[in-house]
Amino acid sequence: MQTKVSPVFSVFEKSHQEAIQLFFELSKRIRSKKAGQLYEKLLYLELFADLIGKIHFEQKELSNQLIRDFRPLEKDLKKIIRLKAVEQGLEKRQSNLAIRYNSYEQFIQTHKRGLHKVAFDRIVGSTTSEWSQLLDQVKKSSKGLKVLEVSTAIHQLVQDELEFFELEWKKGMDSRAYKDLHLGLQKIMKLEQLLGHLGLNPIFIARIHTEMKQMIDSLDSWYVNHLEIQFLSQFLAEKPKVSQKYLDWAKELKQKKKGLSSVIEKQASQLFAKILG
- 48-63 confidence digits (pLDDT tens): 999 999 999 998 889 9
Amino acid in the structure at residue 21: Q
255/224 Cα distance (integer angstroms): 14
Q: What is the mean pLDDT of residues 114-143?
A: 95
pLDDT > 80? residue 5:
no
Q: What is the pLDDT of residue 178?
A: 95
pLDDT > 50? residue 250:
yes
- Domain segments of the chain as ranges: 1-145, 147-277
pLDDT > 50? residue 1:
no
pLDDT > 60? residue 174:
yes
Q: What is the mean pLDDT of residues 256-277?
A: 94
190/13 Cα distance (integer angstroms): 16
pLDDT tens-digit profile of 222-249? 999 999 999 999 999 998 899 999 999 9
Lowest mean pLDDT among 35-39, 77-81, 125-129: 125-129
174/68 Cα distance (integer angstroms): 28
pLDDT-derived band at 3 (thresholds 50, 70, 90) equals low
51/246 Cα distance (integer angstroms): 46
β-pair partners for 143: 5
- pLDDT cut 70: percent of the chain above it: 98
pLDDT > 60? residue 10:
yes
Q: What is the pLDDT of residue 277?
A: 65
222/193 Cα distance (integer angstroms): 25
pLDDT > 70? residue 208:
yes
Q: What is the pLDDT of residue 8?
A: 86
